[in-house]
Amino acid sequence: MKLFPTSERPRHSKNRTGYWFVLPYVIFFGTFVAYPLMFSFILLFHRWNIVTPMEWVGLKNFERLLRDPLFFKSIWNTIVFLFIHIPLQIVVALGFAVLLNSRLKFRGFFRAVYFMPVVVSGVVVTILWQQLYAYDSGLLNRLLVMMGIDRVPWLINPDVAMPSVALMATWKNVGIYIILFLVGLQNVPNELYESASLDGATAIRQFFRITLPMLNPTIVVVVVLSTIGGFSLFIEPYVLTGGGPMQSTLSAVLYIYNQAFYFGHMGYAATLGFVFALIILCVVLLQRKVIESESTS
Amino acid sequence: MKTFLKYLVLGVGAIIFAYPFLWMIASSLKPESQIGGLGLYSPDFTLHNYTQVFTRIPIGRAFVNSLFVSFTTTFSVLVFGSMVGYALARLQFAGKSVIYAVVIFTMTLPFQLTLIPQYILMVKLGITDTYMALIAPTLMTAFSIVLFRQFFLQIPQALIDAARIDGCSDTRILFQLVWPLSRPVLITVSILTFMTSWNEVLWPLIVVRDRALMTLPQLVTLFTIGGEAESLLGLELAAATLLALPVILAYAFFQRYFIESMASTGIKG
């Protein structure tokens, strides 16, 4: 929507200023986006350790990828992460948002506290949770022992380690989704609830019939951003577990990093990045389709 | 009763999100032997861990590096991002829609795709282990351009026309007329860019090996996992606190702006 008519544009805006203003971006794009993109396509078909000359290997990188158990392991780990992270995030964020969306004292205070982990560096959060998760001396296990519950092998059991990372990531990120849901809740017209109450709908029924469908766009955002986040995990496993135990927390980006900077396989690392990017784009498109079609049916 | 329950849940939530930070700060001030405790207070509070961190790693230098990198990046994103945003919103030129399409395309690219080739570019340009390598790939961001464009579209054309009739160039119009009217978007872009840059750790780990050039999160990460902390919790927590404190302080003062800015990143999805 235009606030003011623009039919009669002044002559001055026809000059070359537009080019001068976008020129820096064009140069930037060419250097730091387009060139790397093209170079990545070259890398896909080469073996290269940066030091010695590139060696053409055809489709070998892709063949290798299809037979690479660690590639599939990292995808599986991401699936495990998302399977816990996404539902947990939606339930916790929605719960707190509904509680906050009412007349409250200290509302701003609660909102600010829940949001705090979002602004703090992932490095800080990870170092902190490393202490919370420690088996013998960790805060969480001490708390459990005090309550008469057995210690949980948060980071040392391969079946538990990735869910632990997902729990930590939820703690770090949920604040932003509380805010997004809160914005969504405030956009639900009050008349909807009023007429529903007149029809005798219970609060629970109102939540599932009115609130949830109205929040669908926000849920799409949570799912999409969490998925991108899952495929971008790096510092968490890097600091917390180094990808272990038994590769159970090896994430997509950590695997790319290891291949490139630990083993020096630039071509293969670029291939991994390319395939992961394709997967991300496909998964996100699919998620949007599914969630959006569910809201209309 | 219902209200009580509500406050109880919210209160427990507040403890879950805030207590770990309080525990971290308190523990960083305790002697190593007392860190395991659940409580916050100790009669033996000491700055020992901090003096140790400062003597073991060049954390002061890393702090200055991070400040420099984050400020430069933010400044550049504001200047260039608003120029492109202004051109896309307010100026006529051939190829405008192509440029906009390129910006949107860049925004949807997963970074996994360009990570390795961007590193190789740094190697080819011979700028690994320089500030340039830390700053260059984020000199402009597609997201900031989109935010600026959206905001500038709403500025009344009459104002811009009036300035033109007075003989102002577009550069002057942008920085002396439009900028003062654009506080909200300038604040949003500043906070997002500064925070992202301050907290970024993967890219510095890739392009910088020279300790004197390391950023704060990078140095703290390597200190923790690299054995220099000798698995002494107190040292790790002190280093983490030093990394967290500037952001927590900024957040304490500008809380509302932080929340609004970060919420706008979600709305684009």
Q: Structural domain boundaries of chain A?
A: 6-61, 69-296
Nearest beta carbon to residue A50 from set B6, B120, B199: B120
Q: Which amino acid is at B194?
A: F
List the one residue out of A104, A119, A276 whose CA is nearest residue B243.
A119
**Residue A3: is its pLDDT beyond 70?**
no
pLDDT for res A11: 45
pLDDT for res A25: 94
pLDDT for res A234: 93
B-contacting residues in A 186-215 (Cβ below 8 Å): none
Residue A55 pairs in a beta bridge with A47
Q: With 0-12 CB in 10 A as exposed, 13-18 as middle and 19+ as buried, what is A148?
A: exposed
Q: Tell me whether residue B197 is in a domain.
A: yes
Nearest beta carbon to residue A234 from set B9, B154, B202: B202
Least reliable range by pLDDT among A193-197, B62-66, B127-131:
A193-197
Q: Please check whether residue A280 touches B, CB under 8 A.
A: yes
**Residue B7: is its pLDDT beyond 80?**
yes
Give the total residue count for chain B: 269
Which pLDDT tens digit goes with each residue over B152-180?
Answer: 999 998 888 899 888 888 889 999 899 99
**Residue A261: is its pLDDT beyond 70?**
yes
Co-location of B255 and B199 in the same domain: yes
Percent of chain A with pLDDT over 70: 94
pLDDT for res A296: 59
Nearest beta carbon to residue A28 from set B6, B38, B140: B140
Per the listing, tokens 């060419």 go with: A30
Residue B36 to residue A142, Cβ atoms within 8 A: yes
**Residue A74 parent element (H or E):** helix A69-100
Nearest beta carbon to residue B117 from set A36, A128, A235: A36
Residue B198: left (phi > 0), alpha (psi -120 to 50), or beta?
alpha
Which chain B residue has the Cα nearest residue A240?
Answer: B225
Residue A199 near residue A90, CB atoms below 8 Å:
no
**Residue A86: is its pLDDT beyond 50?**
yes
Residue A256 to residue B93, Cβ atoms within 8 A: no
Co-location of B97 and B157 in the same domain: yes
pLDDT for res A33: 93
**Residue A291: is its pLDDT beyond 60?**
yes
Q: What tokens were used for A284?
A: 């996100």
Interface test with B, best of A16, A103, A124 (most B CBs within 10 A): A124
Nearest beta carbon to residue B269 from set A99, A220, A231: A220
List the one residue out of B52, B46, B41 whose CA is nearest residue B29.
B46
Task: Tell me the mean pLDDT in the region A227-253.
Answer: 90
Co-location of B42 and B86 in the same domain: no
Which pLDDT tens digit goes with each residue over A23-63?
Answer: 999 999 999 999 999 999 888 998 888 878 888 888 888 98
| Helix locations, A187-260, DSSP H | 190-198, 203-206, 212-214, 216-231, 235-240, 252-257
Q: What tokens were used for B81?
A: 């991002």
Per the listing, tokens 């945003």 go with: B85
Q: How confident is the model at residue A297 (pLDDT cuts 50, 70, 90)?
A: low
**Residue B208: is its pLDDT beyond 70?**
yes
Q: How confident is the model at residue B225 (pLDDT cuts 50, 70, 90)?
A: confident
Residue A280 to residue B24, Cβ atoms within 8 A: no
For residue A291, the chain B residues in CB contact (below 8 A) are none
Higher-confidence residue: A154 or A1? A154
Co-location of B86 and B35 in the same domain: no
Q: Tell me whether residue B118 is in a domain.
A: yes
List the one residue out of B121, B139, B125, B128 whose CA is nearest residue B208.
B128
d(Cα A46, Cα B57) in Å, to the nearest integer?
39
Nearest C-alpha of chain A: how many angstroms from B83?
A: 5
Q: Tell me whether residue B204 is in a domain.
A: yes
d(Cα B93, Cα B103) in Å, to the nearest integer?
16
For residue B113, the chain A residues in CB contact (below 8 A) are 37, 40, 273-274, 277
Per the listing, tokens 């805030």 go with: B18
**Residue B257: is its pLDDT beyond 70?**
yes
Q: How confident is the model at residue B268 (pLDDT cuts 50, 70, 90)?
A: very low
Q: What angle do CA B75, B254, A101 make, to 5 degrees?
A: 125
Counting the structural domains of chain B, the total is 2
CATH of A69-296, one of 1.10.3720.10, 1.10.110.30, 3.40.190.10, 2.40.50.140: 1.10.3720.10
d(Cα A238, Cα B225) in Å, to the nearest integer?
9
Residues 6+ apart with CB under 8 A from A282: none
> Mean pLDDT across chain B, nearest whole number?
90
Co-location of B24 and B139 in the same domain: no
Residue B108 to residue A281, Cβ atoms within 8 A: yes
B-contacting residues in A 15-44 (Cβ below 8 Å): 16-19, 21-22, 24-26, 28-29, 31-33, 35-37, 39-40, 43
Strand, helix or coil for residue A56: strand
Phi and psi at residue A46, to the nearest 5°: -130, 155
DSSP state letter for A106:
T
Residue A148: left (phi > 0), alpha (psi -120 to 50), or beta?
left
**Residue B146: is its pLDDT beyond 90?**
yes
**Residue B140: is its pLDDT beyond 60?**
yes
d(Cα B22, Cα A176) in Å, to the nearest integer?
21
**Residue A2: is its pLDDT beyond 70?**
no
Q: Please check whether residue A56 touches B, CB under 8 A.
A: no
Residue A238 near residue B225, CB atoms below 8 Å:
yes
pLDDT for res A228: 92
CATH code at position B175: 1.10.3720.10
Segments forming the whole domain that contains residue B13: 1-46
For residue A96, the chain B residues in CB contact (below 8 A) are 10, 13
